Amino acid sequence: MGVALWLCPKANTPLHDKLVTLTSSLSTLFPGQPPKIDPHVTVTSSISVNLDDPEKTKEDVYKILTASATAIKSLPKNHCNLVTLGKVDSHRSRLKKLYFHVRRDPNLISFATIIRELFVILPQEIDHETMKKYPHLYTTNENGLIVRKKKGKHSIGKEVEPQDADLNLPSIQKVAQEKASHWSQDEYDPHLSLVYSDLYPIDNALWRTIKTRIQDYLNIDNCDSDDLIDNGLGWDNGVLKLVLCEGDVNDWVVLGSVDLH
């Protein structure tokens, strides 16, 4: 996942507290000790952030959060909630073991597309084109991945540095736009996870208990019905968080956040 952008309800609000209590209650139904989950909808993962230099990390985080907040404020004001939670569902994947579907609101999809284009695909495309023009600046690391060489403290001579002017940026941007559009249509699956677990499958007895607990707590019937598009929970604005999602879930790090108003 790398670095991901999360859209979260604001802390210490009735919605946030309700989701935290619900996830804590549901996690007791699963074996082991499922990690605590900060309620969120992932906007996109694999965001390009320089993690090698603390100063550059701070600069990247500020740039991404500022641009993301600006993008979300520019969306049409034609909706009540950007995030609307729907039916409960389960998946084989550990990080989607138990989750609420999120309605594919056009504004949410547009926002995710913009962020994916600017901070995931565009940097990848620029790196790809730069690598073709300046192969001497890249090497293969111990994991077999092609990475940018780090400058040595005692480097002799000046390396030819890539310049954006050397690249066909309009063409690269067009490719990034197209790829982001396809991603949002074919791959993006907005959801709010309730439990992370390796348990699979969830048997009928456990599923009935899960449904009963959700129905009792949220006062909704048929919480797993395909017709349930809005379960009564959702939010507009909230908080954007940039999160380093590497290693154990309990070790994930919030790199920065910004409140939306």
Residue-range domain boundaries for the chain: 2-124+190-260
212 by Cβ neighbours in 10 Å (0-12 / 13-18 / 19+) ranks as exposed
CA atoms of 249 and 215, how far apart (whole Å) = 28
| 40 given a catalytic annotation | yes
Q: pTM of the predicted model, to two decimals?
A: 0.91
At residue 200, the 3 state secondary structure works out as: coil
Query: Model confidence at 145, in pLDDT bands (50, 70, 90)?
Result: confident
DSSP string, 1-64: -EEEEEEEPPTTSHHHHHHHHHHHHHHTTSSS-PPP----EEEEEEE----SSHHHHHHHHHHH
pLDDT tens column, 100-126: 999 999 999 999 999 999 999 999 999
Q: What value does the mean pLDDT take over residues 82-105? A: 97
| 101 given a catalytic annotation | no
Task: Name the E strands within 132-230.
Answer: 138-140, 146-148, 191-195
Q: What value does the mean pLDDT take over residues 10-16? A: 95
Q: What is the largest CA-CA distance in the chain?
A: 71
Q: What is the CA radius of gyration of the chain?
A: 21
Q: Say if strands 238-245 and 146-148 run parallel, antiparallel, or are unpaired.
A: unpaired
CATH fold of 2-124+190-260: Cyclic Phosphodiesterase; Chain: A, (3.90.1140)
Residue with token string 């991404």: 64
Query: Model confidence at 148, in pLDDT bands (50, 70, 90)?
Result: confident
Given 79, 91, 136, 191, the catalytic residue: 191
